[in-house]
Amino acid sequence: LRCSHCFNYLSDLIEELLQSYNYRLQINGDIDNLTDSQVQDDDD
């Protein structure tokens, strides 16, 4: 991009989007781990 303001703006938005996506992945992983441990407890 030629405009440094536009580049910084888009860069900040992309960073925010990546952080949000990574947070959702972490939450989904935590839910999967919790579900897996509950299934194992039910099997015992």
Contact between residue 10 and residue 1 where contact means Cβ atoms under 8 Å apart:
yes
Q: What is the pLDDT of residues 4-34, one digit of tens each?
A: 999 999 999 999 999 999 999 999 988 888 8
Q: Taking a C-beta distance cutoff of 8 angstroms, is the pair 40, 34 a contact? A: no
- Per the listing, tokens 């407890």 go with 41
Enumerate residues 6+ apart whose C-beta is below 8 A from 1.
Answer: 7, 10
What pLDDT sits at residue 18? Answer: 98
pTM over the 0.75 mark: no
pLDDT at 39 over 80: no
